[in-house]
Structure 1
Amino acid sequence: MQEPRRCRELGIVVGTMPTGPLNAVTDVPGVRVGHTTLVEGDSIRTGVTAIVPDQLTDRRSLPAGLFVGNGHGKMVGSTQVAELGEIETPVVLTATLSTFRAADGLLTYMLGQPGREAAESLNPVVAETNDGFLSDIRARPVREEHVLGALAEASGGLPAEGAVGAGTGTTALGFKAGIGTSSRLATTSRGTVTVGVLVQANFSGVLQVSGVPVRPEQVGVPVPPPPSRPEPPGNSCVIVVATDGRLDARQLGRVARRAVFAMGRVGSDFAGGSGDYGLAFSTAGVETPNVPESDLEPIFAVVLEAVEEALLNSLFMARTTAGFKGRVKYAVPHDRMLDLLRTHRVDLQA
Structure 2
Amino acid sequence: MSLRWLAVSLLLCIVPITGMAQSESVRVRDLGLAPGLFGPGPHNALTDVAGVQVGHRTLVEGDSVRTGVTAIRPHGGDLFHDKVPAAVHVGNGFGKAAGVLQVQELGTIETPIVLTNTLDVGTAVAATVDWMLDQPGNEEVSSVNAVVGETNDGVLNDIRGQHVTGDDVVAAIESASGGPVAEGSVGAGTGTRALGWKGGIGTSSRLLPDAYGAYTVGALVQANYGGVLRIDGVPVGERLGRYDFRSVVEETGDEETPGPDDAGSCMIVLATDAPVSPRNLERMARRAMLGLARTGSYASNGSGDFVVAFSTQNRRAGDAAPRPDSLLRNARMSPLFLATVEATEEAVYNALTAATTVTGRDGHTQEALPLDRLRAILRDAGRIDVNESDAPRP
Interval of TM-score (by shorter of Structure 1 and Structure 2): over 0.9
The aligned residue for residue 20 of structure 1 is: 41
Rounded to whole Å, the distance in 2 between the matches of 1:211 and 1:183 is: 19
Question: 362, 375, 390: which is aligned to 1:338?
Answer: 375
1:107 matches 2:129: yes
**1:11 matches 2:26:** no
Show the counterpart of 1:121. Answer: 143
Contact 1:175 1:216 in 2 (8 A): no
Deviation (angstroms), 1:344: 2.4
1:248-327 equivalences under 5 Å are 248-285=277-314, 289-327=326-364
Answer 1 or 2: which has greater strand percent: 1
The one-letter code matched in structure 2 to 1:108 is D
Trace 1:230-245 onto structure 2 (pairs within 5 A).
232-245=261-274
Q: Where does the alignment leave 5 or more consecutive residues of structure 1 unmatched?
A: none
Distance 2:128 2:238 in 1: 38
Post-superposition offset of 1:61: 1.5
Match of 1:156 in 2: 178
CA contact (8 A) 1:68 1:277 kept: yes
Partners of 1:89 and 1:124 within 8 A in 2 = yes
Q: Which residue of 2 aligns with 1:195?
A: 217
1:32 and 2:53 aligned? yes
Cα distance in 2 between the residues matched to 1:143 and 1:64: 27
Residue 270 of structure 1 aligns to which amino acid in structure 2? A
- Please, which moves more after superposition, 54-63 or 104-113? 54-63
Cα 1:301–1:231 shift into 2, 3 Å = closer
Q: Distance in 2 between matches of 1:2 and 1:44?
A: 18
What displacement does 1:233 show? Answer: 4.0
Higher mean Cα deviation, 229-238 or 91-100?
229-238
1:8 aligned partner, one-letter code? R
Are 2:205 and 1:168 equivalent residues in the alignment?
Answer: no
Shift of 1:182: 0.5
In 2: Cα distance, 1:189 partner to 1:333 partner? 39
Judge conservation of contact 1:246–1:288 (CA < 8 Å) in 2: no
1:212 equivalent among 234, 257, 268: 234
Number of the residue aligned with 1:147: 169
**CA deviation map 1:243-301 (0-9, x unaligned):** 11111110000000001221110101210111001110011145683212111000001
Q: What do you get for the CA RMSD once the two structures are aligned?
A: 2.4
Q: Secondary structure at the match of 2:104?
A: helix
Provide the C-alpha distance between the structure 1 equivalents of 2:274 and 2:149, rounded to a whole number of angstroms: 24
Residue aligned with 1:33, SS: strand
DSSP 3-state at the match of 2:170: helix
SS at match of 1:200: strand
The offset of 1:327, in angstroms, is 0.4
Residue type matched to 1:266 in 2? T
Aligned counterpart in structure 2 of residue 45 of structure 1, from 59, 63, 66: 66
What is the CA–CA distance in structure 2 between the aligned matches of 1:102 and 1:12, rounded to whole Å?
A: 36
Give the gaps of 5 or more residues in structure 2. Answer: 1-21, 249-257, 316-323, 390-394
- Say whether the 8 Å CA contact 2:92–2:305 is kept in structure 1: yes
Amino acid of the structure 2 residue aligned with 1:262 = G
Q: Distance in 1 between matches of 2:383 and 2:23?
A: 22
- Give the structure-2-normalised TM-score: 0.83
Aligned length: 347
* Identity between Structure 1 and Structure 2 (%): 48
Structure 2 CA distance, aligned partners of 1:150 and 1:218?
A: 35
Partner residue of 1:136? 158
What TM-score comes out, normalization by structure 1 length?
0.93
